[in-house]
Amino acid sequence: NAGVMQNPRHLVRRRGQEARLRCSPMKGHSHVYWYRQLPEEGLKFMVYLQKENIIDESGMPKERFSAEFPKEGPSILRIQQVVRGDSAAYFCASSLAFRRQGAGEQYFGPGTRLTVT
Amino acid sequence: TQLLEQSPQFLSIQEGENLTVYCNSSSVFSSLQWYRQEPGEGPVLLVTVVTGGEVKKLKRLTFQFGDARKDSSLHITAAQPGDTGLYLCAGEDLGSGNTGKLIFGQGTTLQVKP
With an 8 Å Cβ cutoff, the interface of chain A facing chain B consists of 4, 6, 31, 33, 35, 41-45, 48, 55-56, 58-59, 91, 93, 95, 98-99, 101-102, 104-111, 113
At residue B4, φ and ψ (nearest 5 deg) are -120, 125
Is it the case that residue A32 has pLDDT exceeding 60?
yes
| pLDDT value, residue B97 | 67
Distances (CA, A) of B46 to A7, A10, B58, B90: 24, 26, 8, 11
Mean pLDDT of chain B: 93
pLDDT at A98: 55
Whether the Cβ atoms of residue B11 and residue A65 lie closer than 8 Å to each other: no
Of the ranges A21-30, B42-51, B89-98, which one carries the lowest mean pLDDT score?
A: B89-98
Lowest mean per-residue pLDDT among A14-18, A39-43, B61-65: A39-43
Q: Quick: pLDDT tens for B50-67.
A: 889 999 999 999 999 999
CB contact set of B41 (below 8 Å; sequence gap of 6+): A110, A111
Alpha-carbon span A46 to A92, nearest angstrom: 10
Residue in B31, B43, B93 nearest the CB of A108? B43
Q: How far is B14 from chain A (nearest CA, A)?
A: 25
Please report which confidence band the pLDDT of residue B96 belongs to, taking 50, 70 and 90 as the band edges. Answer: low
What is the band of A41 on the pLDDT scale with cuts at 50, 70, 90? confident
Nearest to B30 by CA among B104, B91, B74: B91
Omega of the bond leading into A8 within 30 degrees of 0 (cis)? yes
Q: How many residues does chain A have?
A: 117
User: Do β-strands B10-14 and B108-113 pair in parallel, antiparallel, or remain unpaired?
Assistant: parallel
